[in-house]
Amino acid sequence: MGPGKAQAAARGAFKGWTAGAVEFFDQLEVDNTKTFWTAHKVLYETKVRGPMEALLAELAPTCGEGRIFRPYRDTRFSKDKSPYKTNIAAHNDGCYISLNAHALGVGAGLYMPSPDQLARFREAVADDRIGTELERLVAALRKKGVSVTAHEVLKTAPRGYPRDHPRLELLQHKGLTAWQEWPVGAWLGTAAPKKRVLDFLSASKPLRAWLDAHVGEARG
Protein backbone atom coordinates (compact mmCIF):
# COMPACT_ATOMS: atom_id res chain seq x y z
CA MET A 1 0.00 0.00 0.00
CA GLY A 2 1.47 3.36 -1.06
CA PRO A 3 1.64 6.42 1.24
CA GLY A 4 -1.45 8.05 -0.29
CA LYS A 5 -3.57 4.91 0.13
CA ALA A 6 -2.25 4.39 3.66
CA GLN A 7 -3.22 7.93 4.63
CA ALA A 8 -6.66 7.49 3.12
CA ALA A 9 -7.18 4.28 5.05
CA ALA A 10 -6.12 5.98 8.27
CA ARG A 11 -8.55 8.87 7.78
CA GLY A 12 -11.38 6.94 6.20
CA ALA A 13 -12.78 7.21 2.71
CA PHE A 14 -13.70 10.62 1.35
CA LYS A 15 -17.46 11.09 1.61
CA GLY A 16 -17.76 14.77 0.87
CA TRP A 17 -18.53 17.74 3.11
CA THR A 18 -21.72 17.88 5.16
CA ALA A 19 -23.93 20.94 5.57
CA GLY A 20 -21.98 21.67 8.76
CA ALA A 21 -18.94 22.73 6.74
CA VAL A 22 -20.95 25.23 4.71
CA GLU A 23 -22.68 26.54 7.82
CA PHE A 24 -19.29 26.99 9.51
CA PHE A 25 -18.08 29.30 6.74
CA ASP A 26 -21.45 31.07 6.60
CA GLN A 27 -21.10 31.95 10.27
CA LEU A 28 -17.39 32.75 10.01
CA GLU A 29 -18.15 35.38 7.36
CA VAL A 30 -20.41 37.11 9.90
CA ASP A 31 -18.36 36.51 13.06
CA ASN A 32 -14.69 36.38 12.05
CA THR A 33 -13.28 36.42 15.58
CA LYS A 34 -11.02 34.30 17.74
CA THR A 35 -13.97 33.71 20.08
CA PHE A 36 -16.02 32.12 17.29
CA TRP A 37 -13.06 30.14 15.96
CA THR A 38 -12.14 28.73 19.35
CA ALA A 39 -15.73 27.72 20.06
CA HIS A 40 -16.03 25.94 16.69
CA LYS A 41 -12.50 24.58 16.27
CA VAL A 42 -13.57 20.95 16.73
CA LEU A 43 -16.25 21.39 14.06
CA TYR A 44 -13.63 22.87 11.71
CA GLU A 45 -11.25 19.97 12.30
CA THR A 46 -13.88 17.26 11.79
CA LYS A 47 -16.32 18.71 9.24
CA VAL A 48 -14.05 20.99 7.18
CA ARG A 49 -10.39 19.96 7.43
CA GLY A 50 -10.99 16.22 7.91
CA PRO A 51 -12.78 15.71 4.56
CA MET A 52 -10.14 17.82 2.77
CA GLU A 53 -7.40 15.60 4.21
CA ALA A 54 -9.29 12.50 3.08
CA LEU A 55 -9.74 13.93 -0.42
CA LEU A 56 -6.05 14.83 -0.74
CA ALA A 57 -5.05 11.36 0.42
CA GLU A 58 -7.23 9.73 -2.24
CA LEU A 59 -5.85 12.06 -4.92
CA ALA A 60 -2.23 11.46 -3.85
CA PRO A 61 -1.58 8.33 -5.98
CA THR A 62 -2.23 10.33 -9.16
CA CYS A 63 -1.58 13.93 -8.07
CA GLY A 64 1.14 13.65 -5.45
CA GLU A 65 0.94 14.49 -1.76
CA GLY A 66 -1.23 17.49 -0.96
CA ARG A 67 -0.93 20.28 1.58
CA ILE A 68 -3.65 22.31 3.27
CA PHE A 69 -3.01 26.02 3.67
CA ARG A 70 -3.12 27.59 7.11
CA PRO A 71 -6.52 29.09 8.01
CA TYR A 72 -4.99 32.33 9.29
CA ARG A 73 -4.89 35.49 7.19
CA ASP A 74 -1.75 37.60 6.83
CA THR A 75 -3.10 40.98 7.96
CA ARG A 76 0.20 42.86 8.13
CA PHE A 77 -0.40 44.91 4.99
CA SER A 78 -4.19 44.77 4.86
CA LYS A 79 -6.82 47.19 6.13
CA ASP A 80 -9.02 44.14 6.74
CA LYS A 81 -7.82 42.71 10.04
CA SER A 82 -10.16 39.70 10.05
CA PRO A 83 -7.93 36.93 11.43
CA TYR A 84 -9.32 33.90 9.55
CA LYS A 85 -9.73 32.92 5.91
CA THR A 86 -13.33 32.23 4.94
CA ASN A 87 -12.36 29.19 2.91
CA ILE A 88 -10.24 26.08 3.22
CA ALA A 89 -7.69 25.67 0.45
CA ALA A 90 -5.17 23.02 -0.48
CA HIS A 91 -2.82 22.19 -3.30
CA ASN A 92 -0.89 19.26 -4.73
CA ASP A 93 1.22 18.73 -7.85
CA GLY A 94 -1.84 18.97 -10.07
CA CYS A 95 -4.20 21.59 -8.75
CA TYR A 96 -5.48 24.04 -6.17
CA ILE A 97 -8.74 23.21 -4.35
CA SER A 98 -10.88 25.65 -2.40
CA LEU A 99 -14.16 25.37 -0.48
CA ASN A 100 -16.12 28.26 1.02
CA ALA A 101 -19.73 28.92 1.94
CA HIS A 102 -20.69 29.43 -1.69
CA ALA A 103 -18.76 27.05 -3.93
CA LEU A 104 -16.16 24.36 -4.40
CA GLY A 105 -13.50 25.48 -6.84
CA VAL A 106 -10.49 23.86 -8.45
CA GLY A 107 -7.73 25.47 -10.49
CA ALA A 108 -4.45 24.65 -12.20
CA GLY A 109 -1.85 26.33 -14.37
CA LEU A 110 0.65 29.16 -14.21
CA TYR A 111 -0.32 31.56 -11.42
CA MET A 112 1.76 34.70 -10.72
CA PRO A 113 4.80 33.55 -12.77
CA SER A 114 8.34 34.70 -12.10
CA PRO A 115 9.85 37.14 -14.64
CA ASP A 116 11.72 34.35 -16.45
CA GLN A 117 8.59 32.18 -16.62
CA LEU A 118 6.55 35.08 -17.97
CA ALA A 119 9.17 35.77 -20.64
CA ARG A 120 9.13 32.11 -21.79
CA PHE A 121 5.34 32.07 -21.72
CA ARG A 122 5.14 35.09 -24.02
CA GLU A 123 7.76 33.71 -26.38
CA ALA A 124 5.80 30.46 -26.67
CA VAL A 125 2.49 32.26 -27.23
CA ALA A 126 4.07 34.38 -29.95
CA ASP A 127 5.42 31.30 -31.76
CA ASP A 128 3.05 30.45 -34.62
CA ARG A 129 3.14 26.69 -34.05
CA ILE A 130 3.33 26.52 -30.25
CA GLY A 131 1.05 29.50 -29.70
CA THR A 132 -1.60 28.17 -32.07
CA GLU A 133 -1.57 24.89 -30.13
CA LEU A 134 -2.21 26.79 -26.90
CA GLU A 135 -5.02 28.71 -28.57
CA ARG A 136 -6.74 25.41 -29.42
CA LEU A 137 -6.28 24.07 -25.89
CA VAL A 138 -7.78 27.19 -24.33
CA ALA A 139 -10.74 27.13 -26.71
CA ALA A 140 -11.40 23.47 -25.89
CA LEU A 141 -11.38 24.16 -22.14
CA ARG A 142 -13.70 27.14 -22.42
CA LYS A 143 -16.08 25.05 -24.50
CA LYS A 144 -16.26 22.64 -21.53
CA GLY A 145 -17.21 25.46 -19.16
CA VAL A 146 -13.73 25.90 -17.69
CA SER A 147 -12.61 29.49 -17.20
CA VAL A 148 -9.11 30.25 -18.52
CA THR A 149 -7.65 33.53 -17.38
CA ALA A 150 -4.78 35.00 -15.33
CA HIS A 151 -4.10 36.73 -12.03
CA GLU A 152 -3.39 39.88 -14.05
CA VAL A 153 -4.31 40.80 -17.62
CA LEU A 154 -2.75 43.76 -19.43
CA LYS A 155 -4.93 46.30 -21.22
CA THR A 156 -2.59 46.40 -24.20
CA ALA A 157 0.20 44.36 -25.75
CA PRO A 158 3.25 43.68 -23.55
CA ARG A 159 6.42 45.59 -24.42
CA GLY A 160 8.12 44.19 -27.51
CA TYR A 161 4.99 42.64 -29.04
CA PRO A 162 2.76 44.20 -31.73
CA ARG A 163 -0.76 45.35 -30.83
CA ASP A 164 -2.15 43.50 -33.84
CA HIS A 165 -0.64 40.13 -32.89
CA PRO A 166 -3.08 37.30 -33.78
CA ARG A 167 -2.85 35.96 -30.21
CA LEU A 168 -2.91 39.33 -28.45
CA GLU A 169 -5.53 38.15 -25.95
CA LEU A 170 -3.19 35.43 -24.67
CA LEU A 171 -0.14 37.70 -24.72
CA GLN A 172 -1.96 40.10 -22.42
CA HIS A 173 -2.26 37.37 -19.78
CA LYS A 174 0.48 37.42 -17.13
CA GLY A 175 0.34 33.67 -16.71
CA LEU A 176 -2.53 31.31 -17.47
CA THR A 177 -4.81 29.37 -15.15
CA ALA A 178 -7.79 27.10 -15.67
CA TRP A 179 -10.52 27.40 -13.05
CA GLN A 180 -13.87 25.71 -12.50
CA GLU A 181 -16.29 25.99 -9.60
CA TRP A 182 -19.67 24.61 -8.60
CA PRO A 183 -22.22 26.17 -6.21
CA VAL A 184 -22.63 24.30 -2.93
CA GLY A 185 -25.54 21.87 -2.72
CA ALA A 186 -26.52 18.41 -1.57
CA TRP A 187 -23.95 16.92 -4.00
CA LEU A 188 -21.18 18.29 -1.76
CA GLY A 189 -22.04 15.69 0.88
CA THR A 190 -21.28 12.77 -1.45
CA ALA A 191 -18.22 11.46 -3.29
CA ALA A 192 -19.09 13.79 -6.21
CA PRO A 193 -16.50 16.47 -5.32
CA LYS A 194 -13.69 13.97 -5.91
CA LYS A 195 -15.10 13.05 -9.32
CA ARG A 196 -15.41 16.71 -10.30
CA VAL A 197 -11.83 17.40 -9.26
CA LEU A 198 -10.60 14.39 -11.25
CA ASP A 199 -12.69 15.41 -14.29
CA PHE A 200 -11.17 18.90 -14.09
CA LEU A 201 -7.66 17.45 -13.85
CA SER A 202 -8.33 15.31 -16.91
CA ALA A 203 -9.69 18.27 -18.88
CA SER A 204 -6.83 20.58 -17.88
CA LYS A 205 -4.05 18.03 -18.37
CA PRO A 206 -3.18 19.16 -21.95
CA LEU A 207 -2.88 22.78 -20.77
CA ARG A 208 -0.69 21.78 -17.83
CA ALA A 209 1.48 19.69 -20.16
CA TRP A 210 1.86 22.65 -22.53
CA LEU A 211 2.95 24.90 -19.66
CA ASP A 212 5.40 22.29 -18.36
CA ALA A 213 6.93 21.85 -21.81
CA HIS A 214 7.20 25.49 -22.83
CA VAL A 215 7.44 27.45 -19.56
CA GLY A 216 8.63 25.13 -16.80
CA GLU A 217 9.73 26.03 -13.30
CA ALA A 218 11.15 29.38 -12.22
CA ARG A 219 14.91 29.62 -12.65
CA GLY A 220 17.13 31.52 -10.29
CA distance linking residue 208 with residue 176, whole number of Å: 10
- pLDDT, tens digit (0-9, with 9 covering 90-100), for 80-138: 999 999 999 999 988 999 999 999 999 999 999 999 999 999 999 999 999 999 999 99
Tell me: the pLDDT tens digits for 151-182? 999 999 999 999 999 999 999 999 999 999 99
Please name the residues in contact with 128: beta carbons below 8 A apart, sequence gap of 6 or more.
none
Contact 148, 138 (CB under 8 A): yes
What does the alpha-carbon distance between residue 125 and residue 20 come to, in Å, rounded to a whole number? 45
Does residue 14 carry a pLDDT above 80? yes
Q: Which amino acid is at 27?
A: Q
Model-level pTM? 0.90
Give the integer Cα–Cα distance in Å for 106 and 117: 22
Domains, the chain, in order of start with CATH, read: 1-72+79-92 (no CATH), 102-220 (3.30.1460)
Q: Are 176 and 204 in contact, with CB atoms under 8 Å apart?
A: no
